[in-house]
Every structure is written in structure tokens, then in C-alpha cells.
Structure 1
């Protein structure tokens, strides 16, 4: 009988202890979790060259390094334009070379011979005039004859001067202005070739980063408009966490603050640094406060970057921040 009483008392004490522990748990502050997600830098790789996809060298999930070829585009029209530009460049360079070199040696020799011929004719006409002048002074020939011979002598002198000028021009070559114009045309033609070549270089698109292929939007044989993304890359080395924080909790996320975030998918807790807090609250996401004051709670976007690389991190993974309940 006494043993039964002792057992009853013990049972009562255990029940009271359980009830007391339950009351303690009920009134104890519960942890509050703020949830966000992982995002990363994305690159949409497109080409300035419109054309048909010749080959896609990557698949979704492939890891690529800087400079790896992602895809190539076949553009016969650009190849034809390059041929035209190269032909124009060759022609312009030939004209520039002609202007720099001046007349050919045969042309210079011919000009010199024409000048010597005119010079000899001038000397002959000068001697003829002297003879006619003497005969005129003796009264043998009339004034008209003397004047005609004089005119022929002067005309021969002018022909001599013109032939000498042509000879000098042949020796000197093209004018400075002509050479400058030829040089300018050659540079312009070279620029046209470089322009088309640079566009053609864009027909083979390379990776700008060490990244992972997230999407392949076009395949070989399909037409790719200019600027249309063909391959999308995600750089997980440039990842961050995004959280939407209510304004009454924003004091815990000042810029530069280090906070510990739990990543359930990796079963890790990692330190992140607050690097950006939105300068404007969101008016689309709010809730009414439970205090006696009648005003709305806004949310602010907060970006946090990990303090160390995180292996196997993926875009969309959840991050949790635990804070004590008020």
C-alpha cells in the first residue's frame, strides 16, 4: 500500500515536471529565420554577325575557360565583303605607291628628250632671226619677214620653257597634295578591311569568363539574328545572396556587416558580407505592423557576398539567417 502511494507521488511529480517544461517551451523565445537565395553573374553570348549557326562547341553544364570557342556562324556575305575590301585596299596601295615613286624612268627620259628638242629648235630660230635681222638692216628683206621670224623665235622659246617644265614635273613626281590624298585613300581602304575582319572575328564567339554553360538556345543549322543570345554562361565565382529584409530588421544588415548564413542544400554555414542595401524600399511587398501604430512595413533588397569560395554552390539555393524572436 505504501509502495503504491510512493509510485503515485512520483508519477505526479513527473507529470508536473513535464507540464512545467512544456510551459517553459511555450513561452520561450522561438528562433526566427530570414530566407534568401543564391544568385550569380550571367552572360548572354551573342554575335554581331547575322547568319546561320555553323557549329556549337558546348553543351549545357559544360565548364568553359576564357577564350574557349562557344559557337561559330557562317556568313558568306561577309566573306564577299572582305574580298571586296581587300581588293580596294590593294588598289589604293598601288595608287599610293605610284604617287610616291613618281613617273617611270622612260617617262622622265621622254620628257627630257622633248625639252632638248624644243631647246634645239629655239636655238635654231634664234640664229635664223639674227640672220634675217642682218638682212633687214641691209634692206634685203622686208619688215614683215623679219617680224614673222621673230614671232617664230619667241614661240620656240615658249615651247622650250613648257617642255622644260614638263621635264621638271616628271623628275619631281606627284604633288605633295596628291601623295597625301593617295595615302589617305590607302588608310581608308585599310580601315575598311579591318572593319570587316573584326566583324568576321565575331563569327567565332569565345568565352569571356571561366564559367559554366547554363543554356544553349540555338543549334547548328539555325539562323541567328544579330545580337540574339546563342549561349548563356553563369559564373559561380561571382555569386551572391539576395534577401528581402523588412525595415524593422534592417539594422542587422548594415553595409559591411558580416553575417552567418546557413545553406541547407550544402549543410554549411558560411560568412557573408553585406555589400549593398537598396536605396529605395519596395512598395509592392509590405505588411501591417502589429503594434498600436498604423503604418506599413516596407522591404529592402540586400546583397551579400561570401567571404570565401563555396564548393558546389548553385543558383537558386536557399540561404537562412537565424535571429532571436522579439
Structure 2
């Protein structure tokens, strides 16, 4: 009994010591765990993008290989594009044809406008000439009537005076006819009247000249008295003058004909302008088709979507590929980042756009990043506690940090350690 008590006490002492050691070890381990959670690590990562054609076809050229550095917009490969080139050429020909139709329609418009101006000038000239012819014919009728009246009344002193008046009237008619003939010849040289109109005026001029000569003779013979043949001749001249007056009055209808030419020219102008609008619409449609064909032609060239390194090539020259098939896989280098998983206590006070100090473990260099997002991690990243000693569940949060200024020696996959936010 005396022997058992010391043994029990010894066992109890060992148990108490072991328990204290285990508790101390757990506290130390907990402290170490807390220290590690305040300085988590993550890897340098980047996006991996695929490069694929927008259209399907046979690859004719491959311009890069795996491991090559490429720049955004750099050609990577090309498809067979003979058919697309033919469509572009066809679209360009359609544009040229439409532009030719526009030029043709504009030429027709200019011609119609010139005809309208010419017809308008002809209307004015014809109206003026017609009125002058009517005035001339009316004066001739008056002169012929006066001559007939004088012959019927006999040769008296008044008749001498009348003969003189007739002579002066005939001379006035001749002067008007002479002026009219000169004016019409000038208009003919300018192309504003027809030769037929000038010929009519010439006839009137010759008639006026003959009448003037006759009036002069009548003035000389007035003292001898009229003879029968003279009376008949004067009456014939009167009828001739009346006929000339009727012809001059009928010539006024030529003005309406000229006005019809103006109307026709205006209709031609409207038609030509409509042709211009139609051709312009055709040109726009042809240009749109050309742009579409050129866009499809550009799709025959595969362009790098981002700066980076060619990781893999899945098609070779001569192979047929479909639209959207990833010909190359590119590791982008224009945007690098790291994602840290932290407990909610570690990220207390952290917010988006904060500047973070990080250490590149491979070289010991310090770099700076920017927090771009903070989000709760998925359920598989949650550590379930045992609920003993008052512990609670530990939830992880993903903190994404953009790395715009990594040193030259840093490559994708290297480890970064979280130091803390910058003072600024």
C-alpha cells in the first residue's frame, strides 16, 4: 500500500506534465498558425487565351511557333482567301459602276439645264420678235389703207400731203423691218432663233422696201391722179399687208412652242436628278458590300488577342479548321495577378484599390500590387472547426491583387508573400 501511493502520485505527475506540454504545444502551434495567416503566399498568375479564326477554311501560313513571344495585333496565321479576294474585287467593281452612273446622271443634268436656259432665252427672243412683226404688219396695213384712200379721193392738195405721209409711213415701216432683220440675224448667230424665223423677217424686209419704193413713186405721180391699175395695185398691197398682219399674229403661237421646250427641259432635269439619287443609293449599297467583303477578307488572318507567349499550337498549315477552333493557346503577359486566401480577421479593414506590399520569395525583392476584388471563397475552402473550446468555423476570402510592375526576373508561377498595405 505504501508502495502503490508513490506510483500513483508519479503517474499523476507525469499526466499533468504531459497535459501541460500538449497544451503549451497547441498554443505555440496556434501562434505559429496565426503568424502564417497574417503573411499568406500566392503564385504569380496570368490569363490564358485562345486564338481562333472568325471563319473556317484551310490554313495556308503559320507565322509563329510554340514558345514565341507575340504582341497584341500580330498576325499568327492565315487562311486560303482567293474566294474572298474575288468578292472584294467584285464589290469594288460594283462601286466603280455606281460611281460611273452618278457621273453620267450629273452630265445629263447639266445638259438638261443648258437646254432649259437655251429654251428660256428662245422664249424671250421669239416673243420679242413676234411682237415686232405684228407692229410692223399693222403699220404696213395702215400705210396701204392710206394709199388706197388717197387714190380713191383723187389728187388734191391734201392728196399731196397724204402721199407724203404715206411715203413717211412706208419709210417708217422699212426702218422697222431693217432693224428687225438686223436683230434677228444677231440672234441667229447666237443660236437663239431658227433660220426659218430669220427668213420670215427677210420677207417682211423686202416687202417694206418695195412699199417704200412704191410710196416714193406715188408721191411723184400724185399730181397726175390715180389710174385704174394704180388703184388696183394699192388695194392689192392693202390685202397683202393685211395678210402679213395675220401671219405675224399667228407667229405668236411660236412662243407657246418655246415654252413647251422649257417645260420639257425641266422634266429632263428632274429625271436626271432622280437618276443621281438612284445611282447614289446604288453606290452606298455597293460600298457597304465592299466593306463587308473586306471585313470577311480580314478574317482570313489570325491576330494575336493579347501580348504573351505561345503555349500550344493545335493546327498545322494545310489543315482545315472551323470557325472558333482554338489554333493557338497564348499565355497573356499584359495582365499578371496573384490571388491570396485569407481569414476574415486578416482582411479586416482591407478594401478594393488598396496598395499592397509583397515579397518575391525567389529573389527577396519587394513589389507593389493593387487589390482589385475581395470575395468569399467557395465552400470547399472553409475549414470546419471541432466546436470545442469555443472555436468557430474559419472562412477563407479570396483577395485578387493586380501586379502591374513586376521585376524582370519574375515569371509566372513564382511565389509572392503578403507583407501588408502601403502607408499611402
Is TM-score (shorter-chain normalized) higher than 0.5? yes
Query: 1 CA distance for matches of 2:342 and 2:292?
Result: 50
Partner of 2:403: 306
2:87 pairs with 1:81: yes
**1:155 deviation in Å?**
11
Partner of 1:8: none
Query: 1 CA distance for matches of 2:253 and 2:286?
Result: 47
| 1:1-326 alignment runs, 5 A limit | 28=28, 29-30=31-32, 31-32=35-36, 34-102=40-108, 162=260, 165-167=263-265, 172=269, 174-251=271-348, 253-255=350-352, 256-263=354-361, 266-289=362-385, 292-293=389-390, 296-306=393-403, 308-321=405-418
**1:293 deviation in Å?**
4.9
CA shift in 2, pair 1:280/1:179, >3 Å: farther
| Larger deviation, residues 50-59 vs 179-188 | 179-188
Query: 1 CA distance for matches of 2:285 and 2:303?
Result: 29
CA contact (8 A) 1:270 1:306 kept: no
**1:88 deviation in Å?**
1.6
Query: 1 CA distance for matches of 2:282 and 2:390?
Result: 77
TM-superposition CA deviations, 1:64-93 (whole Å, max 9, x none)? 234432111113332232232122212211
TM-superposition CA deviations, 1:198-217 (whole Å, max 9, x none)? 22123223335442222223
Query: 2 CA distance for matches of 1:180 and 1:293?
Result: 86
CA contact (8 A) 1:46 1:226 kept: yes
CA contact (8 A) 2:335 2:403 kept: no
Query: 2 CA distance for matches of 1:226 and 1:154?
Result: 78
CA RMSD after TM alignment: 4.8
Query: 2 CA distance for matches of 1:77 and 1:96?
Result: 29
Question: Which has the higher Rg, Structure 1 or Structure 2?
Answer: 2
Query: 2 CA distance for matches of 1:293 and 1:53?
Result: 66
TM-superposition CA deviations, 1:218-251 (whole Å, max 9, x none)? 2211222223332232232421111222324323
Give the count of matched residue pairs: 284
**1:193 deviation in Å?**
0.8
Q: Secondary structure at the residue paired with 1:288? A: coil
Instruction: Specify which structure has the higher proportion of strand.
Output: 1
CA shift in 2, pair 1:53/1:47, >3 Å: same
Query: 1 CA distance for matches of 2:393 and 2:253?
Result: 107
CA contact (8 A) 2:370 2:403 kept: no
Query: 2 CA distance for matches of 1:180 and 1:224?
Result: 44
TM-superposition CA deviations, 1:166-208 (whole Å, max 9, x none)? 45555x4744343223222212211221221122123223335
Where does the alignment leave 5 or more consecutive residues of structure 1 unmatched? 1-21, 125-137, 139-152
CA contact (8 A) 2:66 2:310 kept: yes
Partner of 1:12: none
TM-superposition CA deviations, 1:284-306 (whole Å, max 9, x none)? 42112356557533322211233
